[in-house]
Structure 1
Amino acid sequence: MEIIFVHPQTQNPPSGGHLFNRWIVAEAERRGFPLLPCPPEVALSARFGRATRVLWDSLLLAALARRPKRYRDGTHGLLVHYLPFRDPALGHGERRRWSHRFDRVVGGMGFALATGAGVAAFLEQRFPGLPVGCCEPGIDPVFPAARRTPDQPREPGPVRIATIAHLLPAKGHGDLLEALGGLGHLAWEWHWVGADHLAPEHARNLRIAAAAVGLGARIVHHGVLPAPALARLLRRMDLVVQASGFESYGMALAEAVAAGVPVVATAVGEAERIVRHGETGFLVPAQDPMRLREAVARLLLDAALRQRFRERSTRLPPRTWEAAFDDFVRFLGRVAAA
């Protein structure tokens, strides 16, 4: 059985969904599995036979909504990376439009495969009777390989904090800036990893706000880093802090834990499963800068606690892309059999 996988071929900067696609395609090639990538401009006008299964990427949701088709014969499905209408940065009207597009597209599919357990549960509830599977991401091996061992001392200097997210309103940099603004008397520096050109006005306002409270000199912006460079950076970090108000999974958190770095994060997406509260990091409510400040302050002030969190993280086996691909194939096999 051939499986046509329709997804964007290039994306700059790459999103978590785009990286997921790359790994799945690469693993399929490694195993000789008949997963055939197809450009969307070809697939949107193509006719597929009933013997073929077609998996559409939800990164194409807007294009699919503009060209509605009904695929209830069970041969077409949607790989769902995220639920766009849950983005708190969107206005009410825009959320309604995305919700309508989402329902229109998913309602016309024969099956859906989610990349997070929470998204899968949402799909099962929203679309009763629709076959739904779950295939959560794996971890690039460069991250566990970057772990600092107990006999490797940290580099001297201030506590190094990393936030791995594009500079977008929903990612919570503003809340974290407010939280860190009350901790200026402590020695720390803040490393941003992510694109700043996707919402340039927002990124500019963040820098202006940081300068206004005297924190601009403590911020180091690295831009988008490929996995090996990000792993090397995480090796130097003492703490990863993510203040996002909206996630479907949380690959940056999973990579930080795999690299053995203590985490403070908002309890969105799958954070409660990725970060063990009080053992490998702290979880706080979204959009609560005071709680965020308290959690960050505890780890800034307590090097021994950071070390305990680091040691516990290194004991956790990271999920592999081989395991992720096994879930991928298992679900598609059930779909084909049905």
Structure 2
Amino acid sequence: MRQVSFLVAGAIDQPTGGYFYDRAIVGGLRSDGIDVDVIELDGVFPVPDSAAISALDRALAACAPNTSIVIDGLAAGGLPEVVERHAANRSLVVLVHHPLCDETGLAADTRQRLLEAERRTLACAARVVVTSQFTARRLVALNLAEESRITVVEPGVRPAIQARTASQGPCRLLCVASLTPRKGHRLLVEALAQVADLDWRCDFVGDDQRDANEARAVREAIEHHGLAERIRVHGPQDSESIDAHYAAADVFVLASYYEGYGMVIDEAVAHGLPIVTTTGGALADTFPTGAGMSVAPGDANALAQALRTLIDDAEQRGCAAAAARSARARQRDWPAVARRFAAVLAS
């Protein structure tokens, strides 16, 4: 297996965890001498427009029969009719970060339509790769794929600089996540408003262009609660800048309603940061015991209490940071993850 076509929805350099996973796999495969052709599909996904339908159809038709084909589930899941047309003479691997129907804020009819479409798409796959044990269980529970056709390839982490500890001045909070409804930024703002009596500053780092309405709502919530001087929205950052934010932070916080894995939690652990997060989706599995505090998704009061505890109690914050540093030893690096992905393709 020396040739791989890797199909993604839009540009692969988009600043989200799913695209970061895709880029890391592509880079790891190439480092191991595998020829990877990244095909960036035009159009709107996962509820496709005509450009998306045409782009996926042309891309699959152009792939040589002996090429290993990987399609990110965001690109494939909503287009079963195209995938079915090419599956008879192509061996397809579909990479699922989380079921499309689990996205926060979908209308009931859209959710049902995506569920049915993704079920048809995954039925065509020779193999389904998922990024967490949670997502594997979720696919089986939704009758989207049989357990025997699913392989879990969990994310890796990059080498990380140890975050500062016992810093002077306000407690520095960091949230790295795109400003979309699922990530819970407005809930986090509400929780932070409840601990406004404490000395803290918070940085929101992540794509603020993906959902313009949500980004505007987050900024309005910050203004409404009078927190504009304490919460900074930075937008997307390059890897070097994100690393600098991690290194300067005291506590990492993610208020997500649902994650298919939650790679930023691994990144925070790699930097030795104490964490406040939720149990949404795979986070209940991937959050290391003792590395901070986790609460039910959607509960602003519980989130505020967890934040109060770690902001106000330096000793507990230190214990959580120590647990995070201990968990670093169990993390995978990206080259090892890419080799596992390659083994799936080779089989």
Provide TM-score, normalisation by structure 2. Answer: 0.86
Match status 1:132 vs 2:132? no
Q: Which amino acid aligns with 1:197?
A: Q
Aligned to 1:331: 344
**Aligned partner of residue 56 in structure 1, secondary structure:** strand
Deviations 1:292-314 (A, max 9, x none): 11111110110111112112211
Deviation by residue 1:59-96 (Cα, 9 ceiling, x = unmatched)? 31366336242526772121112212112321212211
1:105-125 deviation per Cα after TM superposition (whole angstroms, max 9, x unaligned): 112222211122211223345
- CA distance in structure 2 between the aligned counterparts of 1:276 and 1:18, rounded to whole angstroms: 24
In the TM superposition, residue 228 of structure 1 has moved relative to its aligned partner by 2.0
Check if 1:220 corresponds to 2:225. Answer: no
User: What is the CA distance between 1:11 and its match in structure 2?
Assistant: 4.3
SS of 1:24 mapped into structure 2: helix
Instruction: State the distance in 1 between where 2:190 and 2:147 align.
Output: 45
Match of 2:321 among 302, 305, 310: 310
- 1:252 matches 2:264: yes
1:112 pairs with one of 97, 112, 128: 128
Conserved? CA contact 1:196–1:223, under 8 Å: yes
CA contact (8 A) 1:3 1:36 kept: yes
* Residue 107 (structure 2) aligns with: 91
| Pairing 1:33-48 to 2, within 5 Å after superposition | 33-40=34-41, 41=55, 42-46=58-62, 48=64
1:180 aligns with 192
Question: TM-score, normalization: structure 1?
Answer: 0.88
Structure 1 stretches of 4+ moved >6 Å? none
Post-superposition CA distance 1:127-171 (Å, at most 9, x none): 237521111111111x2xx104xxx65542211111111111111
Q: d(CA) in 1 for partners of 2:338 and 2:162?
A: 25
What is the aligned partner in structure 1 of residue 47 from structure 2? none
Partner of 1:10: 11
Say if 1:162 and 1:191, in contact at 8 Å, map to a contact too.
yes
Q: Which residue of 2 aligns with 1:21?
A: 22
Shift of 1:55: 1.7
User: Is the 1:167–1:199 contact (alpha carbons within 8 Å) kept by the matching residues of 2?
Assistant: yes
Residues 310 and 316 of structure 2 are in contact (CA less than 8 Å); yes or no, is this contact kept in structure 1? Answer: yes
Q: What code does the residue aligned with 1:246 have?
A: Y
Q: Which moved more, 1:85-94 or 1:293-302?
A: 85-94
Unaligned runs of 5+ in 1: none
Distance change (3 Å), C-alpha of 1:109 and 1:259: same
Does residue 322 in structure 1 map to residue 335 in structure 2?
yes
Are positions 1:199 and 2:185 aligned together?
A: no
2:345 alignment partner, SS class: helix
* Aligned-partner Cα distance in 2 for 1:11–1:110: 23
Paired amino acid for 1:259: H
Asked if the contact 2:78–2:114 (Cα under 8 Å) also holds between the matched residues in 1, the reply is no
The equivalent position to 1:231 in structure 2, one of 226, 243, 246, is: 243
For 1:184 and 1:274, locate their aligned partners in 2 and report how far apart those are by CA, in whole Å: 29
Superposed displacement of residue 272, structure 1: 2.9
CA distance in 2, matches of 1:165, 1:242: 8
2:177 aligned residue (162, 165, 169): 165
- Percent of aligned pairs sharing the same letter: 28
Partners in 1 of 2:281 and 2:344 — Cα distance?
22
Letter in 2 for 1:199: D
Aligned to 1:58: 73
- Output the CA distance in 2 between the equivalents of 1:99 and 1:15: 23
How many pairs align?
Answer: 326
| Alignment-mate amino acid for residue 312 of structure 1 | A
Partner of 2:45: none
Taking the aligned partners of 1:129 and 1:313, their CA distance within structure 2 comes to 32
Distance 1:81 1:154, change over 3 A: same
Q: Give RMSD over aligned pairs.
A: 2.2
Alpha-carbon displacement from aligned partner over 1:11-58 (angstroms, at most 9, x marks no partner): 463221211111111111111134443454452332542x43322121
8 A contact 2:16–2:177 mirrored in 1: no
| Alignment CA distance shift 1:175-1:129 (3 Å) | closer
2:157 counterpart letter in structure 1: I
1:199 Cα deviation after fit: 2.1
**Cα deviation code 1:191-225 (max 9, x no counterpart):** 10012222222222222222222212111122111
